[in-house]
Structure 1
């Protein structure tokens, strides 16, 4: 049995599609399928079943999943801990951060809280950052968070502390008179949307559903990057909801303006998450500062 097989299994359990899972693992679909079958032979049970909607975990696969998630995460953490003891990593702080906060919040915050430590920043979508944390590839996750949205890290295996606040605000290009080119009282507004793997998009729609807010939107573009949506809004492609921390400079410069009043704003927290297991000395020191100790 190989560690690659377990990572293949976790990827297919997330994607529920052989083609997408093979693409994420950077191997051909036939080779990926052979590795899944090899794992099933090693386990002695069928782990996946074919359905009309794609691929689903079998009852045995559901049981196996819980153990594999913990095992793979602990293996990566064990390697990291061993390297830190051997001083082969140079005691680097490894932080996974969502794209929007990597651009706006992280640089100032990390300089204030860990100014002299070497930092390894891994920037990606929320979904990808959560995978890094689950597999022990980062000690911390910096992300936006909302109480209505349950994430894969909201378990007893992880801790979370709020370290800031932000707003998701609807913005668009101004017209020649400085007024919004589109407003949310129009019949149909071109919408620059987040793709499914984006945590911000999931937060936004959870908040709209909870408050009964239904803006009249027609999706014209999707991206997992708030910065990409902001750039498209600046160019006049439509209305986007982006973190105020990211949009503030463009708002101040008059490149964009608000497309609606405060009714359509979503309050979000900025949080730092970590595993409950012990971290390196410098990681524990950063956590202590983040918690106000």
Structure 2
């Protein structure tokens, strides 16, 4: 049994495709398929149903998915704890944060919540929402800072992770002030987030069934809110941007509303952690938060 087999199993369950899962795991498809077969041979049962349309979990696969994710996280945390006990790691508190919050919210917030935890340093991993979730699930970080919306469920298993709201934000539909205000909104190009973006999930939920508002096919896509803001500033279209990120550009008059306030999306900012015990420093930080 190898730990990478569990990681491959979770990736295939998430992506539903050998091609996409192998790409996400940065290995060739044949090598990825061999590792999945090795896991199934070790388990003694088939875990996936293969069809031309994609891959789905068998009943046995669905049964072990949650426990496999938890087992993998526990093993990674065990390694980190062992290194801390042996003195091979400083009392560093790692965080994963989505790009937009890394640029704006995190620096101010971490200064304000200095709770006297036994921390020698803070390490911030900035990534897409999908990348941050992977770091948390794999046990590489104890905390994930991200935007959340009550109507959009997190893909993280609720029984394995918990969160606290630590801030608020708002997504605004913005465009360059140089674009003529007389252009109907449905004729404006749409600057969209990719599937890897947590903000993309939230905006997609808000726009579902609202094809008449903007062009259905995105004119440009990125998982980075900062990139979409740059495109909007250049007059390339409309983007839903966090107010915390675009505050200065709005104040300067370079970005203006493309849609009225009814299209604003109120966001929560959450800090998420595994339910399982964390390091002493992380637990102190969480309890005093």
TM-score (norm 2): 0.91
Taking a change above 3 Å as real, the CA distance of residues 21 and 245 of structure 1, as seen in their structure-2 partners, is same
Partner of 1:44: 44
SS of residue matched to 1:242: strand
Taking a change above 3 Å as real, the CA distance of residues 26 and 40 of structure 1, as seen in their structure-2 partners, is same
Runs of 5+ in structure 1 lacking a partner? none
Within 2, Cα distance between the matches of 1:113 and 1:107?
Answer: 10
| 1:142-291 pair list within 5 angstroms | 142-153=145-156, 155-175=158-178, 180-181=179-180, 185-209=184-208, 215-218=213-216, 219-290=218-289
Partner of 2:74: 74
Within 2, Cα distance between the matches of 1:205 and 1:263?
Answer: 16
* Pair 1:139 & 2:142 matched: yes
Q: CA deviation at 1:140?
A: 0.6
Taking a change above 3 Å as real, the CA distance of residues 288 and 161 of structure 1, as seen in their structure-2 partners, is same
Cα distance per residue 1:6-55 (max 9 Å; x no partner): 11111111111111211222211111111111111111111111224211
Contact 1:182 1:238 in 2 (8 A): no
Runs of 5+ in structure 2 lacking a partner? none
Taking a change above 3 Å as real, the CA distance of residues 129 and 196 of structure 1, as seen in their structure-2 partners, is same
Q: CA deviation at 1:246?
A: 0.4
Contact 2:48 2:55 in 1 (8 A): yes
Cα distance per residue 1:225-244 (max 9 Å; x no partner): 11111111111110000100
SS of residue matched to 1:217: coil
Contact 1:96 1:142 in 2 (8 A): yes
Taking a change above 3 Å as real, the CA distance of residues 59 and 132 of structure 1, as seen in their structure-2 partners, is same
Within 1, Cα distance between the matches of 2:242 and 2:154?
Answer: 19
Within 1, Cα distance between the matches of 2:111 and 2:50?
Answer: 50
Cα distance per residue 1:70-96 (max 9 Å; x no partner): 110111111112122222220111111
Taking a change above 3 Å as real, the CA distance of residues 36 and 263 of structure 1, as seen in their structure-2 partners, is same
Within 2, Cα distance between the matches of 1:57 and 1:224?
Answer: 28
* Pair 1:93 & 2:96 matched: no
Q: CA deviation at 1:67?
A: 2.0
Coordinate RMSD, CA, aligned: 2.1
Taking a change above 3 Å as real, the CA distance of residues 182 and 274 of structure 1, as seen in their structure-2 partners, is farther
Taking a change above 3 Å as real, the CA distance of residues 267 and 183 of structure 1, as seen in their structure-2 partners, is farther
